[in-house]
Chain A
Amino acid sequence: MSEAITHNGIGHAAHHADYLEDPKGLWSWLTTLDHKRIGLMYLWSVLTFFLAGGIFALLIRLELLTPKQTIMTAEQYNRVFTLHGTIMVFLVIIPAIPAALGNFVLPLLLGAKDVAFPRLNLASLYVYWTGALMALSTLLLGGVDTGWTFYTPYSTTTGGGVTMMVLAAFTLGFSSIFTGVNFITTIHKLRAPGMGWFEMPLFCWGMYSTALIQVLATPVLGITLLLLVMERVLGVGIFDPQLGGDPVLFQHFFWFYSHPAVYIMILPGMAVISEIIPTFSKKTIFGYKAIAFSSVAIALLGFLVWAHHMFVAGMSLFAGAIFSFLTFFIAIPSAIKVFNWIATMWRGSISLEAPMLYAMAFLLIFTIGGLTGLFLAALSTDVHLHDTYFVVSHFHYVMAGTSLFALLAGIHYWWPKMFGRMYSNKLAPLACALVFIGFNATFLPQFVLGSRGMPRRYYNYLPQFQDLHVASTVGSWILAAGLFLAAAYLLASFRGPKNAPANPWGGRTLEWETTSPPTTHNFEGQPVLQHGPYDYRANPAPVGVHEHSH
């Protein structure tokens, strides 16, 4: 097999420049239809907004170092946490893995030259940029102080740039839909010859499930946000109790999208982990079908549980019971995945390189995040914990923590493929440890804050909560330090030589069978699949062999 690559794949690469170099110039990037370039532009955009959202997070934590005013007023605080939430949800987490990493690797994993609709793909990026500009423009319109959830009637009565922010989220929804439509179609029609549904790498199943949610849930958010805009502009009355409407209806509409959207944030992370663990355990994935189907199950179940966000909003006993009951079923596919990943490591040949370290951190973070979900799915404990810091911490574990570790794992895993360069493996364990310790130091105290009764979105708090807030704030500094360290050694790789081997980790999926970085059309000719994605039975491909021609 390695011979085949040498002769037909890498051997020919000498004739073609890699996708990063050919063609050159800013204009060629802005008008590119290459999924890899679009993926990279998404990646840099997402990381830029992650920096912005992260700075807002640090400001929030700094403000909460003391009760009452520390560095900003209540009005400023409310605007900062709204921006933090909106940027992180709509501009960072939702596009991070699907639109950035997914765009880059999905066609490679499938052995395709591109996604099904390259122009739609580029359009999605431009729509994303437009939405991002709209979201940022609210800073000039007096800010937005509604929180990222835009609950009515607060959002219909408060001032500032709410209408613009809601339109921004609406616009970003289109970008997400475009990506979803593209990925589903690509997976259906552009798999390499010989690649059946169950020969696809599990990343593709994760992307498929994610895309299903993007296509089925985002339009409902779209219409909800439009109704909110209409409410503000025309006073249509549907969410306004004084005009005969129902403010809680907004919550139902909103969470019908936004709860599945939570799985837009976790499924891609799981998808990345499903690639990394077999590669670094040199062992086939345990329970391929269970992992694949559990992704789809999570995506579909995700549509049936939205009202668990409203157990204290005056819903009936019966509805509460149903939604609580259904919510618990999400725990099963999640647990299955975790046990399957651990079973994959069992009796493997485990090497602890950077991507694997981040993937293991993901497993632990997801374990905490998933299990703390039980408190919120159970009715009686949720009544106590709803809208407290416990919820804040829980969703940071399942949405932010897992996305962060999966994104970092994925970036470390595919960095050589994306840029053709290796980063320093020496600093990676330190950075990973700092991020892991920092994350837990930030959010573990918040569980206790919440169970002791500290409500969320509080600018001021009672003195008894200060110790834990201080711990959390110090944690946020450790977390930031870890992230800056990771950014530093990754960026430092650009000063090194462009000499990454085609398959630095010994992976068995198709992206490792082309050059690092790939040529514009990914593969020389059409790859034909002849073994499953995680088949380590044969003599493994030589690791670290550098055959790139210059």
Chain B
Amino acid sequence: MSTVTHPAPAEHGHSPFLQHHFREMKQQFDAAKIGMWLFLVTEVLLFGGLFVGYGLMHARHPEAFMAAHHHLDKVMGATNTIVLLVSSFTMVMAVWSAQTSRRKLCILFLILTLLCAGTFMVIKYFEYSHKFHEGLLPGKYYTHHGDTVPGQFMFFSFYFMMTGLHGIHVLLGMAAILWILARTIRGDFSSEYYAPVDITGLYWHLVDLIWIYLFPLMYLIS
């Protein structure tokens, strides 16, 4: 008539990856997905704060932001956008390969994704060092000469904070992909169990998505 506590169901071929507090793989997988989506929400809100701050300061100093954004290299920015879009595609393929138990293909796509991420960071490195060289640094370290519009330092404050935070996320993503790669090589994943690949993929798409918003906001002000 009320709650009954009955013994655990007999063991029937549990996956070695099923944690003790879940009843079945699907429950564990769904939980991982919900957790990742929630985490992505917090990430969007974290960046959201910066976007709002950027928008408000842009509205206050439109000329300064306009003038400052000419210092950015549109070609490098566009290249990086394409690189990240390609990496998103390879990530999707990696998830699909894991889902369909294609281990070697999965390894290949993960490596490709890593290469794209690496390319992104290298291009970013060249962009950053160029800015450093010209004294286009954030806040009080801004030493660039020959500005026609005052207040351009604030654009670079946001540029470095936003692309910097994004860059940290790319690096964290690379670490996650490396870990997934190692586990794929070890042969952990199959159509039975691929949740880690799936949620790493979700995270990687977010990193990509944020850049898709950052690129026009920073490089293509009109």
Q: Does A touch B (CB under 8 Å) in the complex?
A: yes
A223 touching B46 by the CB < 8 A rule? Answer: yes
Residues of B within 8 A of A236 (CB): 138-139, 154, 157-158, 161
Alpha-carbon distance A4/B39, docked complex (angstroms): 40
- A389-408: CB near B (< 8 Å → 1, else 0) gives 00000000000000000000
Q: Are A525 and B157 in contact (CB under 8 A)?
A: no
Does B15 sit within 8 A of A, measured CB to CB? no
B186 CB, nearest partner CB in chain A, Å: 19
> Which residues of B sit under 8 angstroms from A222, Cβ to Cβ?
46, 49
- A521 cross-chain contacts in B, Cβ below 8 A: 20-21
Which of A185, A231, A238, A525 is in CB contact (< 8 Å) with B31?
A: A185
Which of B4, B19, B42, B138 sits near A527, CB closer than 8 Å? B4
CB of A238 within 8 A of CB of B53, answer yes
A115: B residues at CB distance < 8 A: 21
Which of chain A's residues 280-338 have a Cβ closer than 8 Å to chain B? none
In the bound complex, what is the Cα–Cα distance between A510 and B5 (angstroms)? Answer: 10
Binary per-residue interface labels of chain A (2-34) against chain B in the complex, 1 for a CB within 8 Å, 0 otherwise: 001100110000000000000000000000000
The residues in A between 18 and 68 inclusive whose CB is less than 8 angstroms from any CB of B are none
A8 touches B2 (CB 8 A): no
B49 and chain A: residue at smallest CB distance: A223
Q: For B23, list chain A residues within 8 Å (CB).
A: 526
B62 to chain A, nearest CB (A): 12
Question: Complex Cα distance A446/B117, Å?
Answer: 58
- Shortest CB-to-CB span from A508 to chain B, Å, is 8
A-B contact count (CB 8 A): 171
C-beta contact mask, B143-171 vs A, less than 8 Å → 1, else 0?
00000000101100110010000000000
- A216–B38 Cα distance when bound, in Å, is 9
* Among A4, A181, A184, A249, contact of B3 (Cβ-Cβ < 8 Å): A4
In the complex, what distance in Å separates the CA atom of A349 from the CA atom of B46? 49
**Alpha-carbon distance between A249 and B53 when the two chains are bound, in angstroms:** 8
B75: interface (CB < 8 Å): no
Q: Does A544 contact B (CB under 8 A)?
A: no
Give the distance in Å from the alpha carbon of A116 to the alpha carbon of B50 in the complex: 31
Measured CB to CB, the nearest residue on chain A to B30 is A189
Report whether A245 and B2 are in contact in the complex, using a CB–CB cutoff of 8 Å. Answer: no
The one of A181, A244, A514 that contacts B151, using a Cβ cutoff of 8 Å = A244
In whole angstroms, what is the CA distance A227 to B64 when docked?
20
**B82 CB within 8 Å of chain A:** no
**Contact digits for A326-363, partner B, Cβ 8 Å, 1 yes 0 no:** 00000000000000000000000000000000000000
Q: Are A230 and B161 in contact (CB under 8 A)?
A: yes
Mark each residue of chain A from 507 to 533: 1 if its CB lies under 8 Å from any CB of chain B, else 0.
010100110000001011111111100
B residues 18-54 in Cβ contact with A at 8 Å: 19-23, 27, 30-31, 34-35, 38-39, 41-43, 45-50, 53
Report whether A526 and B8 are in contact in the complex, using a CB–CB cutoff of 8 Å.
yes
Q: Which of B30, B47, B139 contacts A230 (CB 8 A)?
A: B139
Query: Quick check: is A457 within 8 A (CB to CB) of the other chain?
Result: no
- Given the complex of chains A and B, what is the CA–CA distance between A85 and B53 in angstroms? 27
Per-position binary interface string of chain A over residues 203-244, scored 1 when its CB falls under 8 Å from any chain B CB and 0 otherwise: 000000000000110111011101100110011111000011
**Which one of B21, B31, B154 contacts A113 once the chains associate, using CB atoms below 8 Å?**
B21
User: Is A177 in the interface zone, CB < 8 Å from B?
Assistant: yes
* Cβ A531 vs Cβ B2 within 8 A: yes
**Chain A residues, Cβ within 8 Å of B154:** 236-238, 243-245
Given the known inter-chain contacts A223-B50, A523-B5, please indicate yes or no for A112 contacting B21, CB distance below 8 A: yes
The main secondary structure of chain B at its interface with chain A is helix
A249 touches B56 (CB 8 A): yes
Cross-chain contact B38 with A184 (CB below 8 angstroms)? yes
**Which residues of B have CB within 8 Å of A180?**
38
Total contacting residues, chain B, CB less than 8 A:
46
Q: Is the CB of B34 within 8 A of A220?
A: no
Residues of chain B within 8 A (CB-CB) of A215 are 38, 41-42
Q: B45 contacts which of A220, A237, A243, A528 (Cβ < 8 Å)? A: A220
Closest to B9 in A: A526
Assembly CA distance A508 to B5 (angstroms):
14
Contact of A253 with B by CB under 8 A: yes
Q: Which residues of A contact B157 (CB under 8 A)?
A: 230, 234, 236-238
Asked if B140 lies at the interface with its beta carbon under 8 angstroms from chain A, I say yes
Interface contact B20-A234, CB-CB below 8 Å: no
The complex places the Cα of A526 from the Cα of B27 at a distance, in Å, of 14
CB–CB B21/A1 < 8 A? no
Does A114 belong to the interface (CB within 8 Å)?
yes
**CB closest chain-B residue, reference A236:** B157
Nearest to B4 among chain A residues (CB) is: A4
On whether the beta carbons of A113 and B20 are closer than 8 Å, the reply is yes
Q: Taking the complex as formed, is B57 at the interface, i.e. its CB lies under 8 A from any CB of chain A?
A: yes
Residues of B within 8 A of A546 (CB): none
A218 to B, closest residue via Cβ: B42
Instruction: Tell me which residues across on chain A come within 8 A of B9, comparing CB atoms.
Output: 526
Chain B residues positioned under 8 Å from A177 (CB to CB): 42
Given contacts A244-B154, A524-B7, 10 further A-B contacts (CB under 8 A): A1-B3, A117-B31, A181-B42, A227-B53, A236-B139, A236-B161, A243-B151, A249-B53, A528-B3, A531-B2
Which are the 10 A-B pairs with shortest beta-carbon distances?
Answer: A223-B49, A236-B157, A235-B140, A234-B139, A235-B139, A113-B21, A114-B21, A219-B45, A1-B2, A219-B46
20 contacts between A and B (CB under 8 A): A1-B2, A1-B4, A181-B35, A181-B38, A181-B42, A184-B38, A186-B31, A215-B38, A219-B43, A223-B53, A224-B49, A231-B139, A234-B138, A238-B158, A244-B61, A244-B64, A245-B57, A249-B53, A514-B5, A526-B5
- The interface of chain B, by Cβ under 8 A from chain A, is 1-9, 19-23, 27, 30-31, 34-35, 38-39, 41-43, 45-50, 53, 56-57, 60-61, 64, 138-141, 151, 153-154, 157-158, 161
